[in-house]
A and B are shown apart, each in its own frame.
Chain A
Amino acid sequence: MAADALTLRRRHARPRVRLMPQLTGWGFVGPATLVIVGLSIFPAVWALILSLRDDNLLAPGSFVGLQNYRDLLDDPDLRAATLHTLLYSVLYVPGSLVIGLPIALALNRPIRFRAFYRTCLFVPYVVSAAATGILANFILDPQFGIVNDLLAGAGVARQGFLQDPSQALLTLVVVSLWGSVGLPIVVYLAALQDIPRELLEAARVDGAGAVRVFRAVTLPQLRPATVFLVIWQTIDALQLFDLVYTTTKGQPLDSTTVIVFYLYQQAFQLFHAGYGAAVAYALFVVTLIVSGAALWHARRGEAPS
């Protein structure tokens, strides 16, 4: 009995003592929680419900269960959009790393006007994708663009670029790389400056040449940065939308219709909002799996060392 009474009293006593610190804690966390719940979780749940409905957001729709998800599997246009997205990602993600790393290495050396070069390379990243797209439209116009004028001057045949079904997606990759290579450069630069000087010096003292130092010391030290960049750039690539919207609108012949642009078309131009939400959710799951796999792979690679 006595013990019971004791625990009872304790139970009563505890909240009173902890109330203030708890309130303070919630005071700090509250606003952010509200923002996350209101702007992320609430819409995400709403979209999940929408993906189970045949709905255009105008007329009252109906609950269709998993029908939208079944339709995903048998949609040749979505399959084509997925292929375009994959092709884009496969070119864009390694491309941005392969271009970004040497530039970061160069900018990490004591050269003249280094800060100026760094700024120049980062500016395109700061420019919005919309501006990049409009600019690309101008200079790559097959008939009136400056790039074709230069090519013609150099004796090369005029190209269709964004208006040629076989070139459009590749052109988009190039434009994206131009616009976003600033990120890998900055991330690699920061990582390069974090490599302990002693490691590099020790390697040189041991007689390693420049190439050997790069392969045996620099690259492994850059691993966390590389993992981060691969995940980040992959998510970026899978969600490509703004550049397509401002340049090709998925044309010519749907050759640049990527997944997010396709779901936008379905939801807002063809009035299949439920189906669009289902595509969004499928993409979300795929992105989650891809990021998870990349992280897992990275951790496994770290384990032995």
Chain B
Amino acid sequence: MASQLRPIAFRWHGKLDDFITSVAWSPDGERLAAGSVSGQVAIYDVNGGRAVHLFEQAHADGCDAVAWRPDGKALATAGRDGMWKLWDAADGKVLAEHEAGALWAEHLAWSARPIGDRGHLLALGAGNKVTLWTEAGAAAGAAMTFPRTVVDVAWILGGATLAAAYSTGVSRRDPLTGAEERAFPARDPVLSMAFSPSGKWLMTGNQDCTIHVWNTDSGSEMHMRGYAAKVRQLAWHRGSRWLASGGGPAVSVWDCSGRGPEGRMPTILEWHTDQVSALHYQPDGDWLASGSRDGGVAVWLPTQRQTLVTGAKISSGVTRVAWSPSGKLLAATGEAGEVQVLEVE
């Protein structure tokens, strides 16, 4: 079987001081940004891997999120100093910096589309609040408050509707008014959330080693048990048919076509020897990348029930995997600060 694996080319690597919490490709795929719990943020040139900028103390006590403004000219970062900052990607200067309103600023997401006449908006999750910010880094509207600490933030339904997850549920909000459009109360403590690109399915990964599923069309819910560990990693295939999940050393891929995953068995992808810690589907393709605490990075083609496409190791546990926008390059980051950029040949 090993002989059938596709070869992997290690294109280049970078190194930060400590555990990499966040990584993001610029929209044109020319830059890769990474943030670390050491507080460092680096912006790498995809051609050769030179660090174009290295912000040594972007956030005291650690950086938790990096997110490219959709024009690719600025990078938003947030961290455990309770701040969020907007950096000019060309000259490295700080364009804006604001207190997030909580001791940790943990989640960042830019809307995929302009919101009304306000341009693209940045959603910032900190404590039990989500605030919105303009492309210039100015406050846009009042803070939205949630019943508990926000654990995940995303733009859904084509990128113009906001969703936030907190431990006791998920809330869909109108970003212009902050009004709740729909609430999804959860019995289980939520860790992560993933709306299918179609918007039909909402999955939450939970602390009690389960996944909860809402069919937002019919309103029906189901609950998937049997995971070996907490489910922090959820990744949708672009076609909204396949949902990949972590929650143990195996990756489980659920078929959500038709009536959904109920009564079906997931495809189980086994190669990792320790907990799966990162998952990402190609934005424009069918390959699924997974990373594990054992340092393994694997690429799968689960849509055709094929097994492993390829696998490799980095030196410490994998913290994030991220396909470049074209799906050609894969970035994998590590607990010791490694930034590896690979290409499957």
Q: Bound pair: A and B?
A: no
A residues neighboring B (CB under 8 Å): none
B residues neighboring A (CB under 8 Å): none
